């Protein structure tokens, strides 16, 4: 965007209005051209409908036709927040995911994996229960679903699910009267490329009490994002590698006479727990040609790209921190804090050493030598003299003349202790910064008793050409 508020081409400098009209061609001989819309449609840009709603920028990737008005009513929104925005508080996590848009949505609709895959992060195996799902109102717009008993054996009551085209999924628990809050799990799955998608995950809450509502607004978003990323990484390796196995199986099945890919041939789904997944895959196949990048059949994409390594899958910095306003700012502040702690630690250690030297000199009956009068000329000599005077001034503050040697040594010890605290602070900052950079590829959080220190040893096993580290309770 140039100073005139126009979109300027970085290659030849042509300028365009928000409507896409070309209004400046620097190479044109006729300078009266400046500010006039070009008569040729070939010089103009296509414009796409876009709007900001609920803090998100929505773009419809189809150019407006001549005279066409954008259909803003078609934007997929969270209805509960739209109707009563003042009653809801909400956090948002964004991450680039190494999986297809369809795999990401399938995962978010698969409610029965949560107690197992996310054990010790957001759930527990003990919360596993029968999952009986029903799907209603299936159409080109999406579908609705109900889990009558709901999670945790009905502790929160029924859970409803809504899928709205092209990539919005909302789980809702409405227990305002029973538990004092309503909560939604909102997922926008944005297709990026075959095998890649962007997750925009939002967690709106409506609290009956003002205390959690106030705390929610005070606590910075970045403080919860490392844990949110840990939850995403619980099943990231499963999904990235698993969808490639599904694709290989789909291609084998599609080689049949009719070329179709029935989901029942790919997945064994003996219970109603998978009705949301099948409903979504059927919607993809029936109304969207299988997906945004082509399909083998059954809503399975026909391409996924290169399989990533475990280190790439656990990269948090480029997949989240760099694109998260809150976390990128926190990471920069942590980096500045580390530099400040390192500088302070060096200065404190030097000061401690000087005070200790003064104490030893005083204990031996010596005196601190003061510099002679300032030199008459010479930049270097004056600089050395100034540094010496500054050093002595600092010493007089830290080690006042006449202070007994034991007290001077005590001061030196305090300064050394403060320097050590700075070093400890640097180590703590480094440990916390890692949470913004990478995740833990091993899921030790799924090992029973790990957090109680009951796991006996760590084992390393070669699996599929890669080295995997795990935890074992005994030598077997």
d(CA 267, CA 246): 9
Same domain assignment for residues 148 and 13: no
Residue 24 corresponds to which tokens in the numbers above? 């400046």
The domain boundary residue, chosen from 28, 43, 74: 74
Q: Decide if 463 is inside a domain.
A: no
Cβ(316)–Cβ(299) under 8 Å? Answer: no
The domain boundary residue, chosen from 51, 74, 97: 74
* Length, in residues, of the chain: 476
Q: Could you tell me how far CA 15 lies from the centroid of its own chain?
A: 35
Q: Decide if 462 is inside a domain.
A: no
Comparing 38 with 444, the larger pLDDT belongs to 38
d(CA 370, CA 429): 40
The domain boundary residue, chosen from 263, 295, 323: 323
Q: Decide if 348 is inside a domain.
A: yes
Angle between helices 379-398 and 325-363 (to 10 degrees): 80
Q: Decide if 466 is inside a domain.
A: no
The DSSP secondary-structure symbol of 39 reads S
Q: Decide if 417 is inside a domain.
A: yes
Angle between helices 101-109 and 236-254 (to 10 degrees): 110
Same domain assignment for residues 370 and 305: no
Q: Decide if 236 is inside a domain.
A: yes
Same domain assignment for residues 25 and 173: no
Same domain assignment for residues 307 and 371: no
Residue 293 corresponds to which tokens in the numbers above? 């990048």
Same domain assignment for residues 151 and 59: no
Same domain assignment for residues 208 and 119: yes
Of the candidates 313, 293, 310, 311, the one whose C-alpha atom is nearest the C-alpha of residue 301 is 293
- Residue 259 sits in a domain whose CATH number is 3.90.380.10
Same domain assignment for residues 239 and 386: no
Q: Decide if 439 is inside a domain.
A: no
**Backbone φ/ψ region at 80: left (φ over 0), alpha (ψ -120 to 50), beta:** alpha
Same domain assignment for residues 35 and 104: no
Q: What is the pLDDT of residue 223?
A: 93
In degrees and rounded to multiples of 5, residue 408 shows phi and psi of -65, -45
d(CA 447, CA 441): 14
Cβ(385)–Cβ(432) under 8 Å? Answer: no
Tell me the torsion sign for CA atoms 422, 423, 426, 431. Answer: negative
Same domain assignment for residues 58 and 115: no
Tell me the torsion sign for CA atoms 214, 220, 224, 229. Answer: positive
d(CA 440, CA 460): 15
Average pLDDT estimate for 117-122: 85
Same domain assignment for residues 63 and 92: no
Q: What is the pLDDT of residue 442?
A: 61
Q: 27 lies in which domain range?
A: 7-74
pLDDT digits (tens, 9 = 90+) for 279-299: 999 999 889 888 888 888 888
- How many domains does the chain fold into? 3
d(CA 455, CA 450): 5
Q: Indicate the pLDDT class of residue 453, thresholds 50, 70 and 90.
A: very low
In degrees and rounded to multiples of 5, residue 52 shows phi and psi of -100, 125
pLDDT digits (tens, 9 = 90+) for 64-89: 887 788 888 889 999 999 998 989 99
Q: Decide if 298 is inside a domain.
A: yes
Same domain assignment for residues 64 and 144: no
pLDDT digits (tens, 9 = 90+) for 224-251: 999 999 999 998 998 999 999 999 998 8
Same domain assignment for residues 179 and 60: no
Most confident of 58-72, 121-135, 322-336: 322-336
Q: What is the pLDDT of residue 31?
A: 56
């Amino acid at each position: 965007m140039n100073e005139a508020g126009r979109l300027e081409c970085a290659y030849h400098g042509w300028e365009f209005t928000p409507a896409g009209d070309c209004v400046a061609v620097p190479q044109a001989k006729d300078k009266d051209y400046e500010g006039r819309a070009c008569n040729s449609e070939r010089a103009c840009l296509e414009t796409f409908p876009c709007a900001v709603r609920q803090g998100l920028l929505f773009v419809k990737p189809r150019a407006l036709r001549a005279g066409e008005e954008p259909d803003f009513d078609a934007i997929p929104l969270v209805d509960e927040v739209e109707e009563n925005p003042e009653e809801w508080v909400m956090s948002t996590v964004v991450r680039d995911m190494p999986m297809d848009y369809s795999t990401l949505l399938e995962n978010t609709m698969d409610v029965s994996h949560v107690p197992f895959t996310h054990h010790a992060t957001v759930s527990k195996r003990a919360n596993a229960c029968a999952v009986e799902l029903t799907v209603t109102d299936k159409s080109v717009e999406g579908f609705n679903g109900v889990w009558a008993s709901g999670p945790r054996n009905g502790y929160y009551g029924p859970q409803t699910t809504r899928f709205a085209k092209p990539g919005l999924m909302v789980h809702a628990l409405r227990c305002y009267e029973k538990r004092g809050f309503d909560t939604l799990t909102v997922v926008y799955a944005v297709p990026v490329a075959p095998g890649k998608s962007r997750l925009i995950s939002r967690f709106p809450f409506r609290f009956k009490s003002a205390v959690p509502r106030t705390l929610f607004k005070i606590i910075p978003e970045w403080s919860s994002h490392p844990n949110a990323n840990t939850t995403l990484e619980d099943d990231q390796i499963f999904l990235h590698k698993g969808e490639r196995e599904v694709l290989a199986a789909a291609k084998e099945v599609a080689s049949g006479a009719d070329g179709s890919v029935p989901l029942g041939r790919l997945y064994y789904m003996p219970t109603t727990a998978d009705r949301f997944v099948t409903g979504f895959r059927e919607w993809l196949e029936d109304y969207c040609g299988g997906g945004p990048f082509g399909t083998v059949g059954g809503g399975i994409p026909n391409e996924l790209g290169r399989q990533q390594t475990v280190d790439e899958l656990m990269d948090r910095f480029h997949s989240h921190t760099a694109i998260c306003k809150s976390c990128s700012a926190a990471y920069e502040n942590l980096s500045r804090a580390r530099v400040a702690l390192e500088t302070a630690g060096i200065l404190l250690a030097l000061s401690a050493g000087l005070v200790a030297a003064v104490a030893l000199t005083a204990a031996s009956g010596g005196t601190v030598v003061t510099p002679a009068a300032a030199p008459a000329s010479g930049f270097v000599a004056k600089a050395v003299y100034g540094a010496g005077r500054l050093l002595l001034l600092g010493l007089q503050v830290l080690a006042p003349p006449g202070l007994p040697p034991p007290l001077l040594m005590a001061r030196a010890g305090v300064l050394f202790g403060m320097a050590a605290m700075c070093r400890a602070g640097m180590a703590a900052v480094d440990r916390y910064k890692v949470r913004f950079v990478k995740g833990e590829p091993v899921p030790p959080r799924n090992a029973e008793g790990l957090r109680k220190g009951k796991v006996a040893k760590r084992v390393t096993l070669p699996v599929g050409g890669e080295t995997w580290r795990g935890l074992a309770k005994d030598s077997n």
